[in-house]
């Protein structure tokens, strides 16, 4: 009877091995699920970036306001007959600049 119980226990263990550790088993499925989660997160970030770029492209195609704003901000351009003022910060007086 002990031998028969041992054989059944061994048979159950042999049948359980592929479920837990074999190809397509629980361990491999868990690892693949983690990879899927990481890839979905990366895809969401890339989709958000693509949506922002698409909105910016549509804005640039639709009118001159966006083009003008970008030229002013990035290139420092001004309109014709427009006056541009540039202010420089005044250096603060330090103890080395003060003569006694």
Banded model confidence at residue 39, pLDDT cuts 50, 70, 90 = very high
How far, in Å, CA of 23 to CA of 68, rounded? 59
Give residue 36's pLDDT: 98
Alpha helix (H) residue ranges in 21-89: 26-62, 64-75
Residue showing tokens 């074999």: 22
How far, in Å, CA of 18 to CA of 25, rounded? 6
How far, in Å, CA of 38 to CA of 32, rounded? 10
Give residue 65's pLDDT: 81
Domain regions of the chain by residue span: 32-73
Banded model confidence at residue 37, pLDDT cuts 50, 70, 90 = very high
Q: How many CA atoms lie within 13 A of 84 on its CB side?
A: 7
State mean pLDDT over 56-62.
84
C-alpha distances out from residue 72 to 52, 57, 69, 79, Å: 21, 17, 5, 9
Q: What is the mean pLDDT of the chain?
A: 84
């Amino acid at each position: 009877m002990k031998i028969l119980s041992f054989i059944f226990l061994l048979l159950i263990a042999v049948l359980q091995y592929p479920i837990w550790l074999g190809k397509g088993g629980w361990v491999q499925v868990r690892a693949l699920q983690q990879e899927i989660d990481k890839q979905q997160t990366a895809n969401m970030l890339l989709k958000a970036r693509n949506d922002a770029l698409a909105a910016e492209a549509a804005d640039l195609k639709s009118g001159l306001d966006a083009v003008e704003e970008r030229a002013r901000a990035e290139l420092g351009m001004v309109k014709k007959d427009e006056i541009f003022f540039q202010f420089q910060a005044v250096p603060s007086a330090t103890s080395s600049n003060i003569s006694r």
